[in-house]
Structure 1
């Protein structure tokens, strides 16, 4: 048996495992509608905003137009913006006649050991006393029923954290190539069904929409538990899940209940028109995900090459017919399980064949993430280098 054939078989077996034994990560998961609760808990929508004057005219009206029947308000935390973010927010609320729904506060000076965005989130938490907190981003546009459905789901399922990965913009060619792939890779790394399993330690969330029960946040140590976390959403999910919420009938500790799904009508308006835009998004946190480990980086790149690069390249580079056939079978299986995500983003199924190219770009961006960290430029966001 030739080396090429062995490599092709390993790649194919890897895709068989991912397709059938990895918690169906490739099937888009959304939550069903829940009945209205008997009473609607109080909610604070907390939005950390740093230099978001361009985004707010498109997103702030959606937050202020929520049809939620309980007590709620929006707390926008101006994170040391230099573009008039706070004034823009107040002007929009005044124009819409919704000043009573919006509170704009200034983030305090960055505390020692805290990252900027997390500190801004903490400022919003401290300014509220609500039963639930909805963390969202300044570039996220919510449907009018978004808050109502999130709370109804949280109450029905007794969730401590209800998170949705919002629909990312997918218009430009670069976005069509890379955005569905980004969500696919995220699900491969954090299978939603496994993260949602109360019996499993894995936890994940998406920062664009995170509805948190205040008591669960307090049990997890508050925002201080993630004060220096660059990947704040997944860190928060893990803290809440592991902190738990009491004990079961046998007196055993119960993990916190979390749920992560894909949103269908909440969307990010942030554009990624060029490959470089997506590249920067990935390079900001990829090496953090690998715990700044050179060994994990090497292992990840080798594993991803085996899964994503071998299938399209081996038939061209090897003169072994058997190796070529198994590699092509791996590519076909890869494309087949990628189709549902491509369709979720309303793109032609033919885009599924481009997943190896998308993977190659993400691999290069991951390596660049390590280079940035080694140069002291890790986690650069809004002018701040947050990991070095």
Structure 2
């Protein structure tokens, strides 16, 4: 057996393990769980952090104001130092669209050790506490909700006893690059955090791997207010660049229950028409996901190469050199890979012939991840809308020095 054949066999073995032993991450049927509407609807406050979001706000904010929620609900839009008139536009939209009451406020610049988004969320939660809500809906300024979104989230949380119910909004897929990159983004996320593992029992309950896996999708997070206090949200995660996963871990770490699934009628309206836009979206946090660890980065690059790049390479090498076994192993791995990608393409209503192109998309993600590390060491890592955030350990060192 040649080295190429052995590596091809390892790649196929990896895909068989992913297919059968990774929580069926490739399935797209994890949607809002069974729910019953309560007799008495609990009060809810919606917190929307927004920084320079005037371009998308007209397509998203009216959907929040128009929520058909039988209980008491209120929206707090926190303008995080916008320079494009985001706050003024939000007030104008509230005047034009009848619905839930809207409060627009600004917390000022975040202090050292805080990301701008979480500083805005902290201010919004502080304002919301005066209304004594039972639930907080944390949603991004680019997310549009169906009219029954809030009542469905609250019903699911109450019926299932969840402290967090989060839906991964359906991202926009219109440009060529969005078609290539966006469905794969959700596919890779589900591979890292299998949704079926997340919705398990309370931490420490002994119900297996599900209790140790925690994640949320920051665009749509319904959070029980008392769970937020127990987990010290957002103070406990104030420096987190990947704040949605950090939030879910903090809640689960204090004994809370978390549920995450795909959305049916919660959509992102933010466009990513160019590869540059998508590249920046991924690379700004990819190295943070790897805990800024060069060894983890190296392992990730090797893993991506083995799982996604070896199969097509084995087919080409095997065909060119007459090594039928190598070509067959590579083809089998590529077939399993494409097959697991088909459900996500269907969910995004994309042509199924995109499935065999997943190795190319994975190669782009590999380059984005490496670029994220390069930008980090150049001092430009985790940059977003004019701000650059230090890694958490650097923040801690500054605090001790002060």
TM-score range, shorter chain: over 0.9
1:61-117 Cα deviation digits (max 9, x unpaired): 10000000000010000001111111100011111244x610001123312311111
User: Which residue in 2 is equivalent to 1:46?
Assistant: 47
Q: How much has 1:13 moved relative to structure 2? A: 0.5
User: Which residue in 1 is equivalent to 2:214?
Assistant: 203
Unaligned runs of 5+ in 1: 245-255
CA distance in 2, matches of 1:35, 1:16: 38
- Is the aligned partner of 1:25 residue 2:25? yes
CA contact (8 A) 2:80 2:109 kept: no
CA distance in 1, matches of 2:315, 2:356: 15
User: Which residue in 2 is equivalent to 1:115?
Assistant: 115
Q: How much has 1:201 moved relative to structure 2? A: 1.3
User: Which residue in 2 is equivalent to 1:288?
Assistant: 288
Q: How much has 1:222 moved relative to structure 2? A: 2.6
User: Which residue in 2 is equivalent to 1:253?
Assistant: none
Q: 3-state DSSP class of the match of 2:292?
A: coil
User: Which residue in 2 is equivalent to 1:251?
Assistant: none
User: Which residue in 2 is equivalent to 1:309?
Assistant: 309
1:38-69 Cα deviation digits (max 9, x unpaired): 21111011000001111111111100000000
Count of residues in correspondence between the two structures: 376
Q: 3-state DSSP class of the match of 2:222?
A: strand
User: Which residue in 2 is equivalent to 1:278?
Assistant: 278
Matches within 5 A, 1:291-370: 291-318=291-318, 319=321, 320-370=323-373
User: Which residue in 1 is equivalent to 2:188?
Assistant: 185
User: Which residue in 1 is equivalent to 2:174?
Assistant: 171
Of stretches 29-38 and 130-139 in structure 1, the one that deviates more from structure 2 is: 29-38
CA contact (8 A) 1:33 1:149 kept: no
CA contact (8 A) 1:108 1:123 kept: no
User: Which residue in 1 is equivalent to 2:62?
Assistant: 61
User: Which residue in 1 is equivalent to 2:225?
Assistant: 214
The Cα RMSD (Å) is: 1.1
Q: 3-state DSSP class of the match of 1:107?
A: coil
CA distance in 2, matches of 1:334, 1:316: 17
CA distance in 2, matches of 1:222, 1:302: 35
CA contact (8 A) 2:109 2:116 kept: no
CA contact (8 A) 1:170 1:345 kept: yes
The normalised TM-score by structure 1 is 0.95
The normalised TM-score by structure 2 is 0.92
Q: 3-state DSSP class of the match of 1:149?
A: helix
User: Which residue in 2 is equivalent to 1:145?
Assistant: 148
CA distance in 1, matches of 2:128, 2:346: 40
Unaligned runs of 5+ in 2: 202-206, 392-402
CA distance in 1, matches of 2:315, 2:113: 51
Of stretches 197-206 and 311-320 in structure 1, the one that deviates more from structure 2 is: 311-320
CA distance in 2, matches of 1:32, 1:215: 22
CA distance in 2, matches of 1:235, 1:344: 27
1:124-159 Cα deviation digits (max 9, x unpaired): 000012111000011100000000000000000111
**Which among 133, 137, 160 is matched to residue 157 of structure 1?**
160
User: Which residue in 2 is equivalent to 1:72?
Assistant: 73
CA distance in 2, matches of 1:94, 1:36: 31
Q: 3-state DSSP class of the match of 2:167?
A: strand
User: Which residue in 2 is equivalent to 1:101?
Assistant: 101
Q: 3-state DSSP class of the match of 1:203?
A: coil
CA distance in 2, matches of 1:270, 1:341: 20
Structure 1's consecutive aligned runs of 4 or more residues displaced over 3 angstroms after TM superposition are none
Q: How much has 1:32 moved relative to structure 2? A: 4.1
